[in-house]
Amino acid sequence: MPDMLYTAVLLAVLVLALYLAATTARVNRLHARAGAAARALDAHLVRRAAAAAVLAERLPAPLLYAAARGALDGAPGDREAAENALTRQLRAVAARCDVGEPVRAASRRVAVARQVHTDLVRDALAVRRLRPVRLLRLAQQHALPAYFDIDDPALAGAPAPVPVGAGAAGVRTATAQATGD
Amino acid sequence: MRVGIVCPYSFDVPGGVQGHIRDLAETLAGLGHRVSVLAPAHDEDALPAYVVSAGRAVPVPYNGSVARLAFGPLSAARVRRWLAAGDFDVLHVHEPLSPSLSLLAVLCARGPVVATFHTAMTRSRAMAAAQNVLQLVLERITARIAVSALARRVQVEHLDGGAVEIPNGVAVAAFRDAVALPDLPGPCGPGHGGTVGFLGRYTEPRKGFPVLLEAFDRLAARRPGVRLLVAGRGDRQSALAQLPAARHDQVTFLGMVSDEAKARMLRSVDVYVAPNTGGESFGMILTEAMAAGAPVVASDLDAFRRVLDGGAAGVLFPTGDAAALDAALGALLDDPAGRAELAARAGRAVAAYDWPLVAGRVLEVYATAIEAVSGRVVDTALPLDLDVV
B18-30: average pLDDT: 93
DSSP-assigned letters across all residues of B67-103: EEE--SHHHHHHHHHHHHHH--SEEEEESTTSSSHHH
B302-319: average pLDDT: 90
Judged by a CB distance cut-off of 8 A, whether residue A172 touches chain B is yes
* Residue B329 confidence (pLDDT) above 60: yes
- The 3 state secondary structure assigned to chain A is CHHHHHHHHHHHHHHHHHHHHHHHHHHHHHHHHHHHHHHHHHHHHHHHHHHHHHHHHHCCCHHHHHHHHHHHHCCHHHHHHHHHHHHHHHHHHHHHCCCCHHHHHHHHHHHHHHHHHHHHHHHHHHHHCCHHHHHCCCCCCCCCCCCCCCCCCCCCCCCCCCCCCCHHHHHHHHHHHHCCC
Q: Give pLDDT, residue A156.
A: 63
The verdict on a CB contact (< 8 Å) between A116 and B369 is: yes
Smallest CA–CA distance, residue B152 to chain A, in Å, is 10
- Residue B322 vs residue B374, higher pLDDT: B322
ω into residue A2 within 30 of 0, thus cis?
A: no
Q: How far is CA B133 from CA A29, B21, B130, B139, B313, in A?
A: 17, 27, 5, 10, 44
Q: What ranges do the domains of chain A cover?
A: 2-158
Judged by a CB distance cut-off of 8 A, whether residue A5 touches chain B is no
Q: Give pLDDT, residue A178.
A: 37
Question: CB of A119 within 8 A of CB of B162?
Answer: yes
DSSP state of B229: E
At residue B138 the predicted structure's pLDDT band, cuts being 50, 70 and 90, is: confident
CA B356 distance to own-chain centroid: 16
Chain B neighbors of A181, CB-CB under 8 A: 165
The verdict on a CB contact (< 8 Å) between B164 and A39 is: no
A116 closest CB neighbour out of B313, B372, B377: B372
Judged by a CB distance cut-off of 8 A, whether residue A157 touches chain B is yes
- CA separation for the pair B263, B285 (Å, rounded): 10
Q: What ranges do the domains of chain B cover?
A: 2-169+354-388, 172-352
CATH code of domain B172-352: 3.40.50.2000
At residue B62 the predicted structure's pLDDT band, cuts being 50, 70 and 90, is: low
The 3-state DSSP class for residue B208 equals coil
Q: Give pLDDT, residue B127.
A: 62
Q: For residue A22, what is the nearest residue in chain B, using CA coordinates?
A: B136
Q: With a CB-CB cutoff of 8 Å, which residues 34-73 of chain A face chain B?
A: 35-37, 39-40, 43-44
Smallest CA–CA distance, residue B287 to chain A, in Å, is 15
B348 closest CB neighbour out of A108, A169, A181: A169
B120-131: average pLDDT: 61
B62-68: average pLDDT: 56
Q: Give pLDDT, residue A170.
A: 35
Q: Give pLDDT, residue B65.
A: 55
The verdict on a CB contact (< 8 Å) between B351 and A161 is: yes
Question: CB of B348 within 8 A of CB of A160?
Answer: yes
Picking from A45, A117, A123, A152 by the largest number of B CB atoms within 10 A of its own CB, the best residue to mutate is: A123
The verdict on a CB contact (< 8 Å) between B345 and A177 is: no
| pLDDT tens, residue order, chain A (181 aa) | 678 899 999 999 999 999 999 999 999 999 999 999 999 999 999 999 999 999 999 988 999 999 999 998 877 778 889 999 999 999 999 988 889 889 999 999 999 999 999 999 999 998 999 888 888 888 888 989 989 888 888 886 544 333 333 333 333 333 333 333 3
Chain B neighbors of A36, CB-CB under 8 A: 371-375
Q: Give pLDDT, residue B123.
A: 55
Q: Which CATH number fits domain B2-169+354-388: 1.10.3720.10, 3.40.50.2000, 3.30.1330.30, 3.40.50.620?
A: 3.40.50.2000
B325-342 per-residue burial string, b: 16 or more CB within 10 A, e: under 16 = bbebbbebbbeeeebeeb
With the C-alpha atoms ordered B39, B369, A116, B20, is the resulting torsion angle positive or negative?
Answer: negative
B274-294: average pLDDT: 87
* Residue B245 confidence (pLDDT) above 90: no
Closest CA to B336 of B193, B168, B123: B193
Q: What angle do CA A168, A169, A170 make, to 5 degrees?
A: 90
Q: For residue A29, what is the nearest residue in chain B, using CA coordinates?
A: B373
Cβ–Cβ pairs < 8 A, chains A and B: 97
Residue B114 bridge partners (DSSP): B92, B143
Mean of all residue pLDDT scores within chain B:
85
With the C-alpha atoms ordered B187, B189, B193, B196, is the resulting torsion angle positive or negative?
Answer: positive
Q: Give pLDDT, residue A83.
A: 93
The verdict on a CB contact (< 8 Å) between B162 and A162 is: no
Q: What angle do CA B151, B154, B160 make, to 5 degrees?
A: 130
- CA separation for the pair B39, B56 (Å, rounded): 9
* Residue B307 confidence (pLDDT) above 60: yes
B178-198: average pLDDT: 84
The verdict on a CB contact (< 8 Å) between B162 and A115 is: yes
- CA separation for the pair B213, B162 (Å, rounded): 41
Picking from A112, A122, A129, A177 by the largest number of B CB atoms within 10 A of its own CB, the best residue to mutate is: A112
* Residue B207 confidence (pLDDT) above 60: yes
Give the least confident one: A165-179, B20-34, B42-56, B131-145: A165-179
Q: Give pLDDT, residue B380.
A: 67
The verdict on a CB contact (< 8 Å) between A33 and B349 is: no
- Residue B204 vs residue B211, higher pLDDT: B211
Judged by a CB distance cut-off of 8 A, whether residue A120 touches chain B is yes
| Percent of chain B at pLDDT exceeding 90 | 43
Chain A neighbors of B162, CB-CB under 8 A: 115, 118-119
Residues B67-89: pLDDT tens digits?
556 677 788 888 999 999 999 99
Q: Give pLDDT, residue B135.
A: 80
Judged by a CB distance cut-off of 8 A, whether residue A161 touches chain B is yes
The verdict on a CB contact (< 8 Å) between B372 and A36 is: yes
Smallest CA–CA distance, residue A48 to chain B, in Å, is 13
Query: Dihedral (C-alpha) B344, B303, B145, B74: value to the nearest 10 degrees?
Result: -110
Q: ipTM of this predicted complex?
A: 0.80
The verdict on a CB contact (< 8 Å) between A109 and B367 is: yes
Chain A neighbors of B349, CB-CB under 8 A: 160, 173
